[in-house]
Amino acid sequence: MFYSLKGILIHTEPNIAVIECGGVGFKCLTTMNTQRSLPKLGEKATLYTHMNVREDAIDLFGFSSQAEMNCFKMLTAVTGVGSKVGLAILSELSPEQVAMAVASGDSKTLTRAAGVGNKLAQRIILELKDKLKKMGATPDAMPAAMAGGVMSAAGNAAEAVNALTVLGYTPSDVAPVVARFDSSLPVEELIRLTLKAMAGRF
């Protein structure tokens, strides 16, 4: 229903930010990473939003970037990961770090978030990797996804493309963008640069 909110930041408290738009204050549940990026009270702020409608409540979640919003949606689609755990993970880790952890099978990194034990971390990786396979984003499928010689399937660039699919992008969307950058850069830096370059395209 709401894609984003742009207005005046009028109130904050842990995991909550209130944006006033047209005289109405919208309470958004947020991550700590988003809260750290917010301006001072009384200044203009923009949050990308996701609404969750339940029988007993309607919650509006606000994120500082489209990547964080996409990552939240992917995480909360995993069995056993509710909105509280999704916010906890993205309060502890950036979207890039979540993507890297899933792509590399690093469940230990995910357990840094409150409420995420080893079993749940492994389930997150298993279910999201299954989604990657369905999207054609496994390492074996990389050459097909990047047909036409857009970029080599080897090295950090391929890992970056694989990780970016965790955030909801398709390999065909991100491969040409990743290819613009030096493939010798660290994978996390390639992810960050690609997300920055793609901002505003989606």
pTM: 0.75
Helix 66-76 with 95-104: angle, nearest 10 deg = 50
Contact in structure between 92 and 107 (CB atoms under 8 Å): no
pLDDT in tens, 76-85: 999 999 999 9
The least confident of 58-62, 117-121, 122-126, 183-187 is 183-187
Name every residue whose Cβ is closer than 8 Å to that of residue 54 and which is 6 or more positions away in sequence: none
Q: Does position 200 have pLDDT exceeding 60, yes or no?
A: no
Q: Which of the four pLDDT bands, split at 50, 70 and 90, describes residue 153?
A: very low
The least confident of 3-7, 133-137, 196-200 is 133-137
pLDDT in tens, 164-190: 877 778 888 888 898 888 888 888 888
Q: Which contacts qualify for 173-179: CB closer than 8 Å, 24 or more apart?
A: 173/198, 174/198, 175/145, 175/146, 175/150, 175/151, 176/150, 176/151, 178/151, 179/150, 179/151
Contact in structure between 108 and 124 (CB atoms under 8 Å): no
